[in-house]
Chains A and B, each alone.
Chain A
C-alpha cells in the first residue's frame, strides 16, 4: 500500500475550514446578486468538501495511528483551541464530505428552480448558512478540545436552524424551527454539564487532559457523565422518543440541506457518542460498564422499530424520509453491541471489531442512501411543488433519471442485496449472532431480541419504500402538477448520481472500503483493524469469525453475488424477449369495464392500511368517513375520508409536559404583579439562596 507523502496534510483541516469560511464570506459579499452568491457559495462548499475528502483519505490511508494536530488562533485567554484529526475524526469527516460534494453540486440549480422568486438576500443567507453548517459539522468532528467542540456544535445548530426557517415564512416553518431550537438546546445543555464537569476536573479544555481527568473518576460519576452525554447526543441523533423534531425540521429545510441534516448531522451525534464512550470516558484498560451497552442497544432497537413503523404511515415524501431515523437505531445496535463486547471477549475474539465496523459502515451507507433519497425527493418537489405523495404518481415516465436513482436508494435503504444497506445489516446480524453465542442467559436473549427486531425493521422498510416509490413515481399522475412535471436539471441529477455511485460501490465491493475503517476501529478498540478481521480472506470476501479465530466462520462475497445476479439477469433478458420476438402491444389497464382514470390507482393510505391495522396498538388510528347521500342510503353522492395516526411519544410524553408547563405558567401569571422591583427582589433572593447553598457545600 502506498502512503500519501507528496502532500503535507498538517494544515489540511485548516484548509477545509478556510474553504467553508470563504464560502460563507463570499456569499455575504455577493448578496446583491442571488445568482452570483449561489454560484460562489456552492463552489466554495464544493472546494471545502473536496479538501475534506483529501484530508480524511490522507489520514485514513496513511500510516496507522497518525493524528494531525493543528492549533487554532487564540480566541479566549483561558483556553488554547486546537484541531486534532485521528482515525475516527477523519472517518466522519469523510462521511460529511461525501454528502457535501453531492449537496454542493445539487444546490444551486435546486434553489433556483424551487423558489425562482426568492430575493437575492434570502439566497445569499441560505448559502451563507449552508457553508457555516458544513464548516461547523467538519469542525465538530475535528475538534481537539471541548471548547471548539461545543462552539462548533452550537454553530451547527444555529446554522441549521436558519436553514430550516429560511425556505418559507409561514407559521409551520417557524413552529418547526422553534421546536428544533428548544430540543437541540435541551441536548446541548446536557452536553455542557458533561463537558464542564470534565473540564473542571481537568483544569484544561483539550481532550488529552479530559482523558487523564476521566481516568480518576469513580464508577458512578463516570456512568452519570456518560448518560448525560448520551442524552445530549441522542436528541441530535433523533432517537425515539426524542425524535419529535426530526419529521418537522428536516422537511422544512431546502432538500439538499435536508439531505445533510438527515444523512450527516445525525452522524455527528454518533461521532460524539463514540468519542465519549470509547475514548474520553473509557476506563483505563477495563471494559465499559455493562449498563452503557445495554442502554444503547435498547434505545437503538426501539428507535429502529418505531422509526420505521411511523415512517410507514407518512404520506409526505420528505416527512416519510425524515422518520426513517430507524437507521440511527441500526447504528446504535452496532455501537451498543461493541460496547458490551469490548474487552469482554476471550482471547483472540474480534467480535467488538465486527460490531463497530458494522456501525461505522452503516454510518457511511446511511449517509449515502439517505442523502440520495432526500435529493430525489427534492427533485420531485422542485418540479411539482407537491410533497403529498397521494397527489403525485406517474413521474417515472416524466422524470426517468430521478425515478431510477430514487429506486436505487430505496433498494439500498431497505437493506436488500446487492447494494450497500445489506452489507452493513449483514455485519450487524453477524455481530449480534456472535454476541448471542458469547453471552448466554438473559444478555444473550436481549441480543437475540434485538436481532429479531432488526429483521422486522428490514421487512417494514421494504414495505415503506415500495409504497413511497410506487405511489410517487408509478401509475397515473393524480394532479396537474405531476402531469406536467419534467426531468430535473442535469446538475441535480449529477449530485444524485454521485451518491448512487457510492451506494453501488459500497454494495458491490465493500471489501475495498474496509481499509478506511482500519483507523477508527483499531484506534478506538485498541485491537485489530476492520480489514484484518472482516476482509481477512482478501477484499472480495467478507468474513466474520463468530467464534475466536481458528474455527468455522461465515463468508460471503458481494462481488460474486452481484456478478451472478447480472449474469442471470442477462440470461433472463433473453428469455423475456421470447422465442418469437412477438411485437409489444400497449392497451389500457383493465379496470372492470370502466374507463380507467387516476382514481383507480392504489393510494398510499390504502397501501399502508393493512399494516396500520396490524400495528393499531401503536398507531391509535382514527378515521372519519362522511357520506353525502341522495335521499336513499344506496345512492352515494360523495364520500369524505379523513384519517390520522398519532405519535405515541408525542401524545403520551410531550403533550403532557406541555400541559404541565402551561398550567404552571398560568399559576405564575396569576401571582405576577408586573412591578419591576418585585422581579428584582426575586432575582436577588435567588442569588442569595444560591450563594448560601454554595457556601454550605464547599465551605
Chain B
C-alpha cells in the first residue's frame, strides 16, 4: 500500500488565505460597532430612543393641540378623554402635546451638558495628564473644588444664585459633569503617557500635540464615551429635578420636570396624571442607561 503523503498547503492558498484575513482585520471602532449591532438589548433601546427622538423633534406632526393653549374649562381631564387621550393639565393644556414638546427641552437639557462636559473635561484632562507637574495640579485642584459639591447642590448653587432658565441649567450641569470626566481623561492619559509607545513616539521627535492626537486621544475616547452615555440619563433626571424646583425652564414652557411639579398640586384630584411626566423621564433615562451598558460591553473587546 502506498503511503499517501500529507497534503501540504500550497503557497498560493496560504497566501490568499492570509491576505483575506488581513483585509478583514478591523479597526477597534469598527469591531465595537459590529458587536453593538449584535446586542439585542442595545438594538431595542436604540429603536425606542430613535422613536422618541423622532416624535419629539417632529412633535407638530404627532400632536393635534397647541401645548400652550389652555382653558379653564378643560382642566384636569383624566386619561382617555376623547380628544385628549392623555388628559389635560391643571391649566387645561393637552398633556400629550406637552409631553412631546416638553421632550425637546428635556432632551436638550440632558444631552447638551454632557456633550459640553465631554469636550471641556476631555480636553482639560488630557492636558493635565500629559503636561503633569503644575498644570496637572492646577487642573485637578479645580476639579476637586467642583467635586466637593454633590451634583445636585452644585447645580442648585449655580442656578439658584445666578438665576433660572435653560442656559443656566446647561451651565450648571456642565459644571457638575466636568470633574468626573477630567478625572477619567487625566487618569487614562497619565497611564498612557508612561507606556512605552508614547515614549517611542516622543523618541521619534513628535511634539505634544501630535502625540495627543495620534496616541492618546484614541485611548481616552473609549472610557469617556462610555461614562458620558451613562451621564446622559443622570443629566435628564437632574435637569428635570432642577425644573421641578423651579430653577430650570420657566413656565409656561413644557418640560417634564416642570410638569411634574405643577401637576403635583393636582395630586388630590387625579393622582394618575401627575405621574405621567415621570414615566417619560424614566423611559428616556432607562434607554440611555441600557445603551451605555451595551456600549461598555461592546467596548470590552479583548485587546
Chain B associates with chain A: no
Contacts from A to B (Cβ < 8 Å): none
Contacts from B to A (Cβ < 8 Å): none
